Structure 1
C-alpha cells in the first residue's frame, strides 16, 4: 500500500499526489491512495497492510529541495517535520496504541522549500520524482538499500 500525502494547491506539497499518479500510471501492483493527512483515515487505511509506504513532502532547516529520505517511523521525532496540520508521528503513536499498524511502515520524504499557493512543483522536486518512485518500489519489493537518504539525480 502507498499512501501519498499532500495538497496539490500548495506548490511542492503536491509531490505526494504527483508521485501517486506516476506510480499508478506505471502499474505498480499496490493499492495507491491520496490523503490530505487525516490521522484516522491513515490508521484505517494502513492497519491491515503488510507494507505501507507514506510519501510526503518534508521541511528541514537548510533544505535541499528534491533530496529523498527513506525513513523508519522512529526517525520522525528528530529528522523531519511534515507540511500538514498534524504530526505523522502522532498518527503512528495512535495507531500503535490502538494496535492498528501495518506489519511494516516506511516514510519516503522529499525535501521541499516552496509551499506557496498554486499548482505545480518546483524544478528540483519535479526532478526528484523518479528517485521517489524508485524508493517506493524498493521498499515494497524489499530490496536491499531501501532505507536511508537518496539524493535526486
Structure 2
C-alpha cells in the first residue's frame, strides 16, 4: 500500500499546501490504484501516527519556509529520533511536523522497514487567513513529477491530471476555510 499524506495548516495560507495538494490528488487522479490511499491532514496531531500503519511506502507532503522544493528519503532504520527532528527545524505552522510524526511512529513500533519519503514544497510564505499563493500553486504543480516518480519506483501508478490539480488548488484552496472534500463542498 502506498499512502500519500499531506500535512499543514490551511489557515496559514501556503502552510496548507500539504493537505491541499493531497486533496487535489485525490480529486484529480484518474484510475487511482486500489493500493494507493491519499490523506489530506489539516492540523496533524500525535494520534495521526496511525495513518502510517499498514503502508509499505509513505510519502509525506509539507511546506518549507526557507528552502527549495526537495524530496528526501528518510531511512527510518538508520535515523535516530533526534536526527529526524533536526530535519524538522525548517519551521512548522502546524502542531506536528512530518519528521516528528515519523519519529513518533518509529519509536512506537508502527514503522519498521517501510520506505518513507518527505516532499517539502518551498520556499513558501505563510499568511494568516489567506488561501494558497500563486507561488505555492506553481511549486506544487512542479512537485507532481517527484510524486509520480516515487510511486512508479515502488510499483504504483499514479495518473494525475495537472490541469485539474491546478484548478483545484486555485479554486478550492483559495479560501482556507472551504472544505477539501467534494461531499462537504456540495452541501454548502
Of 46-55 and 120-129, the range deviating more from structure 2 = 120-129
Matches within 5 A, 1:29-40: 29=33, 30-35=36-41, 36-40=43-47
TM-score using structure 1 length: 0.76
More helix by share: 2
Q: Give the distance between the partners of 1:128 and 1:87, measured in 2 at CA.
A: 20
TM-score (norm 2): 0.64
Pick the aligned partner of 2:64 from 48, 58, 63: 58
Match of 1:47 among 53, 57, 60: 53
State the 1:82 CA deviation: 4.3
Mark the runs of 5 or more structure 1 residues left unpaired by the alignment. 144-153
Gaps of 5+ in 2: 155-188
Bigger radius of gyration among the two: 2
Question: What is the deviation of 1:15?
Answer: 0.8
Q: 1:131 to 1:113 in 2, by over 3 A?
A: closer
Question: What's 1:91 paired with?
Answer: 101
Q: Residue 177 of structure 2 aligns with which residue?
A: none
- Root mean square deviation, CA, Å: 2.3
The number of residues matched between the two structures is 137
Q: 1:67-106 maps to which residues of 2 (within 5 A)?
A: 67-73=68-74, 74=79, 76=84, 77-78=86-87, 81-83=90-92, 84-101=94-111, 103-106=114-117
The equivalent residue for 2:29 is 26
- The partner residue of 1:122 within 97, 113, 133 is 133
